Amino acid sequence: MSKAAQQVLDSIFAFPPNRETLGGTAYLIVGNPWNILVDCPAWTPENQSFIASHGPVQWLAITHRQGIGAHISQMQQTLACQIAIQEQEAYLLPNLPVTAFQDRLSLSDDSYLLWTPGHSPGSACCYDRRSRVLFTGRHLLPNLQGQPTPLRTAKTFHWPRQIRSLEKLQTSFTSETLQFICPGANTGFLRGRRVIDHAYQAICNLQPDRLRWVEIHDG
């Protein structure tokens, strides 16, 4: 039996890790004033029913190329939603109508995508102002201690850019505007907590010269 999506905050639900996206975690933001999917959940009957039960989806926001599921075409057609993706990775969806952006794209009055390259050329984070949550995709992931960090791997596109993107987040938010991080993988390292709390302080504690080569464990 498939696992069900889990509520992580009042208006945010996390889907089970998706094998099609290498164990990635997708999220649903509800009532903003419409719903937003962050990356692709597994396109199972259970997930389809869950999404439908929460009302229409206006946007499917892709945070990085690995967030694209194999059934994204069926997903877009069924939900009749718009797909938002950073312009450097829009070519990966040649037969789908997409909204490509350069640095920032507003999804609603309370949500936007912010380009944070490094993990991949078009890596982006999605911010929800109402919940003070940053969805970091694979730009920042929990380490073994459950703290957010950029993880340098053999597939990292450009490590210095990823560090500059971290610094961009440190200057773009404050402790008042950023409270939680919902990561796009490594959610098992949160040990049931589902979100990373005190998020702004956690990313400000990161010192680029101490970040090193580590291995991503998906799921």
d(CA 51, CA 35): 9
d(CA 48, CA 56): 12
d(CA 213, CA 121): 19
Is 218 among the domain residues?
Answer: no
**pTM value?**
0.93
Is 86 among the domain residues?
Answer: yes
Q: Mean pLDDT in the chain?
A: 92
Is 66 among the domain residues?
Answer: yes
Cβ(4)–Cβ(50) under 8 Å?
yes
The enclosing domain of 127 has a CATH number of 3.60.15.10
Domain count, the chain: 1
Is 23 among the domain residues?
Answer: yes
Cβ(113)–Cβ(61) under 8 Å?
yes
Is 217 among the domain residues?
Answer: no
| β partners of residue 59 | 36, 82
The per-residue pLDDT for range 48-106, each reduced to its tens digit, is 999 999 999 999 999 999 999 999 999 999 999 999 999 999 999 999 999 999 999 99
The pair of structure tokens assigned to 51 is 């999404």
